[in-house]
Amino acid sequence: MPRDPYEVLGVGRDASEQQIKKAFRGLARELHPDVNAHDPDAEKKFKEAAEAYEILSDDERRATFDRYGHDGLRSGGYAPNFDGFGSINDLFNAFFGGAARSGPAQGGDIGVAVEIELIEAANGVKVHVSYDAVTRCGRCHGNGAEPGTPIETCDRCGGAGQLQSATRTPFGQMMRTVVCDACHGDGRVPSEPCGECRGRGRLAALKELDVDIPAGIDDGQRIRLTGHGHEGESGAAPGDLYVIVGVREDERFVREGETLITALDVSAPLAALGATLEVPTLEGTASIELAAGTQPGEVLSVKGAGMPSLRRGRHGDLRVVVNVIVPRRLTAEQRELLEQLNDSLSDENLRSQESMFAKLKRALGSQAA
Ligand SMILES: [Zn+2]
Ligand SMILES: [Zn+2]
User: Each residue of 125-162: pLDDT tens digit?
Assistant: 999 999 988 888 889 888 888 999 998 999 988 988 88
Residues 315-341 have pLDDT tens digits of 999 999 999 999 999 999 999 999 999
Which residues make beta-bridge pairs with 144?
none
Residues 60-76 have pLDDT tens digits of 889 889 988 888 888 87
The H or E element containing residue 341 is helix 332-344
- Distance between Cα 205 and ligand 2 center (Å): 26
| Range with the poorest average pLDDT among 24-28, 80-84, 103-107, 291-295 | 80-84
- Distance between Cα 77 and ligand 2 center (Å): 39
Angle, CA of 121, 123 and 127, to the nearest 5°: 65
Name the nearest CA neighbour of 300 among 326, 321, 314. Answer: 321
Query: Average of pLDDT values for 23-50?
Result: 76
Ligand nearest to the CA of 187: 2
- Distance between Cα 193 and ligand 1 center (Å): 8
pLDDT at 101: 46
Question: What is the distance between the alpha carbons of residues 243 and 128, in angstroms, rounded to a whole number?
Answer: 11
Binned at pLDDT 50, 70 and 90, residue 256 comes out as very high
Which residues make beta-bridge pairs with 315?
308
pLDDT at 92: 66
- Distance between Cα 231 and ligand 1 center (Å): 13
- Distance between Cα 189 and ligand 2 center (Å): 7
- Distance between Cα 153 and ligand 2 center (Å): 8
CB within 8 A of 258, min separation 6: which ones? 216, 306, 307, 308, 309, 314, 315, 316
- Quote the DSSP letter at residue 369: -
Binned at pLDDT 50, 70 and 90, residue 358 comes out as confident
Ligand nearest to the CA of 136: 1
| Range with the poorest average pLDDT among 9-18, 62-71, 171-180, 242-251 | 171-180
The yes-or-no verdict on residue 85 having pLDDT over 60 is no
Question: What is the distance between the alpha carbons of residues 69 and 61, in angstroms, rounded to a whole number?
Answer: 10
- Distance between Cα 162 and ligand 2 center (Å): 6
Tell me the pLDDT of the chain averaged across its residues. 85
- Distance between Cα 362 and ligand 1 center (Å): 66
In this prediction the pTM is: 0.58
Name the nearest CA neighbour of 39 among 51, 31, 29, 27. Answer: 31
Which residues are found with C-beta within 5 Å of the ion, ligand 1? Answer: 137, 139-140, 194, 196-197
Query: Average of pLDDT values for 258-286?
Result: 95
- Distance between Cα 262 and ligand 1 center (Å): 57
- Distance between Cα 150 and ligand 2 center (Å): 16
- Distance between Cα 161 and ligand 2 center (Å): 5
- Distance between Cα 309 and ligand 1 center (Å): 46
Higher pLDDT among residues 177 and 244, named by residue: 244
CB within 8 A of 364, min separation 6: which ones? none
Residues 165-207 have pLDDT tens digits of 776 666 666 666 777 888 777 788 888 989 998 887 888 889 9
